[in-house]
Amino acid sequence: MRCAILGSGNIGTDLMIKLLKGTDASGSGTTPLELVALVGIDPKSDGLARARRMGIEGPHEGPDWIIDHADDIDMVFDATSAYVHVAQAERYKDAGIVAVDLTPAAIGPKVIAAVNLTEHLDAPNINMVTCGGQATTPMVYAIRRAIDHLPYAEMVSTVSSRSAGPGTRQNIDEFTKTTSTALREIGGAEHSKAIIILNPAEPPIMMRNTVFGGIPEGADHDAVIESIYAMEKDVQKYVPGYRLKNPPVIEEGPYLTPGGEVPHRAVVLLEVEGAGDYLPPYAGNLDIMTAAAQRVGEAIAHHKAEQKAGA
């Protein structure tokens, strides 16, 4: 599928470099995505300059350029901000362009690459939730699939202040709401909470995430731990720097949660190191978004190809 990236900031530029490698998100095959352009609004941006040096078009006319070239574009990766995506989503749909939304706008169905990758491949608009959502929802889902029900889940995502650009800062409210919703809709928690912290420490810290999951009476604790380790390996297939910072534990309670009192809780500590394609390795919060978006885009492309072959 022919694709364009909208947004020439950190996320858009990193995704461009990933796609231009020509390999799929796991690095084990050839990507089915052909990058046509990196589109921005600032003609002097570093991202657009890099695109031109790498032989890719780098126009600065923003969403209008995407619509004007709809006949040459099958998919757009929107790496702008939530309010921009809300304003443009219908235009992409009307033009027949599949939108993979890397903002917290959450117009289309939410997709977490390690959990529900294949559930919405025919949707005209897919939402990639947030960096914290991509990092922590898999672990909430891992806990949920090992027990009868998950009364409560909470995540705290701490990222380097340097890796939080204007889009992230403008979308803090959308971040917390969209992430918390994903913990319920995809992770399977009955109640949820999401918190993001921007840490100004120097040198910059890597992305750190803490996940708490309420464990009901009678749950198999060994099965929960085993499921968490299995999920770590699943995410590492496309984000090699995704790792458990410490062995997961089940703590003795009781704990009072919005979902009621639970006798135990699972605690999962995660670190995400970026691949260093464009962003520094400490910006794992941005890298996990671009890697997950590439994986989803490739899944859509393979699905469309299979449909065409079977027609």
Do β-strands 34-39 and 98-101 pair in parallel, antiparallel, or remain unpaired?
unpaired
Q: Please compute the mean of the pLDDT values over residues 30-48 and round it to a whole number.
A: 96
> How is the chain split into domains, by residue range?
2-129+288-310, 131-282
Question: Given phi > 0 = left and psi -120 to 50 = alpha, else beta, which region is 106?
Answer: left
pTM of the full structure: 0.95
Which residue bears the tokens 């070239």? 69
- Structurally, what CATH architecture does the domain formed by 2-129+288-310 represent? 3-Layer(aba) Sandwich (3.40)
Query: Which positions are annotated as active-site residues?
Result: 131
DSSP string, 119-138: TTTT-SEEE---HHHHHHHH
Topology (CATH level 3) of domain 131-282:
Dihydrodipicolinate Reductase; domain 2 (3.30.360)
pLDDT at 166: 73
**Distance (Å, rounded) from C-alpha 3 to C-alpha 257?**
44
pLDDT tens column, 89-118: 999 999 999 999 999 899 999 999 999 999
pLDDT at 48: 97
**Distance (Å, rounded) from C-alpha 260 to C-alpha 26?**
40
pLDDT tens column, 265-300: 999 999 999 999 998 999 999 999 999 999 999 999
Question: Of 270, 302, 239, 285, nearest to 102 (Cα)?
Answer: 285
pLDDT at 264: 97
Structure tokens at 251: 């703590």
Mean pLDDT of the chain: 95
pLDDT tens column, 222-238: 999 999 999 999 999 99
Structure tokens at 96: 């027949």
Rg (CA), the chain: 19
- Residue 302's pLDDT band, with cuts at 50, 70 and 90, is very high
Given a contact cutoff of 8 angstroms between Cβ atoms, the answer to whether 182 and 115 are in contact is no
The amino acid occupying position 186 is: I
pLDDT tens column, 131-166: 999 999 999 999 999 999 999 999 999 999 998 877
Structure tokens at 44: 């002097």
pLDDT at 163: 87
